[in-house]
Amino acid sequence: MSTKAVILCGGLGTRLSEETAIKPKPMVEIGGRPILWHIMKIYDRAGVRDFLLTLGYKGEVIKDYFLNYHARQSNITVGLSSGDIQYSNPMVEDWTVSCIDTGLYTMTGGRLLRLKPYLQDEAYFCLTYGDGVSNVDIKKLLDFHRSHGKIATVTAVRPPVRFGELQLEGDSVREFQEKPQAGEGWINGGFFVFSPRVFDFLDSDETLLERSPMEKLAVNGELMAYKHSGFWQCMDTLRDKQSLEKLWDSGNPPWHGQ
């Protein structure tokens, strides 16, 4: 049985309104491809190719993208009178993609709860957000989750601080670091792995995954952290998108390949 990956795709993306007025945030493009595609490729490289997308705001844009994906990536010959279509030289990934409407205003935990019928018989499954890329090793993440037997694993990251850091002694600058990694401040980087037992911690559409469920899992000793010190970046703002675009244009984006 292949491992499934849930990608949360339903948010409004209000902090990136320059782009999200016409499309959902996961469909904002980096290098001509939606960031959602980049995230799916991260899992693909680890052999995870069965995806469940939780749709909400402008979910029809995501449905249309995958409905037409095979045609977009192939040469096509159309018989106009018959309507027959022949595809040649398809350059498509071997993915199964389930696009599931989970409500316009449903919270993250509520979106996951709506997927219970699809996931309750799995040994474990992956989950991440539809707006962040990383070079996290998914195979090692899954190995870590299997090793501890707890309900949940969260990938902990230390992102670069947004501005240069100065180490001062009085008025003298003793050390200058341009955008260093945060020190001991680990944060939630997404790329979760869950046992279906997580559904016992989800109540309704109003449940925010990052609040009561994760807090209770931590208190109960059922939440483990997989520490990732490599590349990670979310796309919250236009500035973040532009930064990711520059990395893509460099020809060696750190999340693309391991």
pLDDT at 178 over 60: no
- pLDDT surpassing 80 at residue 131: yes
User: Which two three-digit tokens encode residue 228?
Assistant: 């990732």
Q: Identify the domain containing residue 167 by its residue range.
A: 4-249
Residue 169 in this model has a pLDDT that exceeds 70: no
List Cα–Cα distances, 68 to 41, 65, 188, 211, 226, in angstroms: 18, 5, 34, 37, 36
The CA distance from 199 to 111, in Å, is 11
pLDDT exceeds cutoff 60 at 153: yes
Q: With 70 as the cut, is the pLDDT of residue 162 above it?
A: no
DSSP string, 208-253: -TTTHHHHHHHHTT-EEEEEE-S-EEE--SHHHHHHHHHHHHTT--
Q: Is residue 255 part of a domain?
A: no
Instruction: List pLDDT tens digits, range 227-240.
Output: 999 999 999 899 99
| pLDDT at residue 258, rounded to an integer | 46
Banded pLDDT at 18 (limits 50, 70, 90): confident
For the chain, give the percent of residues with pLDDT over 70: 89
Question: Contact 31/152 with Cβ under 8 angstroms?
Answer: no
- Give CA–CA dist 238/34, Å, rounded: 14
Q: Can you give the pLDDT at residue 13?
A: 77
pLDDT at position 174 is 57
Q: What is the pLDDT of residue 182?
A: 58
Three-state helix/strand/coil letters over 146-162 = HHHCCCEEEEEECCECC
pLDDT of residue 168: 58
CATH number at residue 77: 3.90.550.10
Mean confidence (pLDDT) of the chain:
90
Residue 57 has pLDDT above 90, yes or no: yes
> 258 lies in a domain?
no
Per the CB < 8 A criterion, the answer to whether 24 and 145 are in contact is: no
Evaluate whether 155 touches 191 at the Cβ level (below 8 Å).
Answer: yes
Q: Does residue 257 fall inside a structural domain?
A: no
Q: Which pLDDT band, with edges at 50, 70 and 90, does 32 fall under?
A: very high
Is residue 149 domain-resident? yes
How many structural domains comprise the chain?
1
Residue 129 lies in a domain: yes
Give the strand pairing for 187-188 and 132-134.
unpaired
For residue range 197-249, what is the model confidence (pLDDT) as tens digits? 999 999 999 999 999 999 999 999 999 999 999 999 999 899 999 999 999 99
| Residue 29 neighbours by CB under 8 Å, 6+ apart | 35
Mean pLDDT of 20-42: 94
In this structure, how many other beta carbons lie within 10 angstroms of the beta carbon of residue 86? 10
Rounded mean pLDDT, 11-19: 80
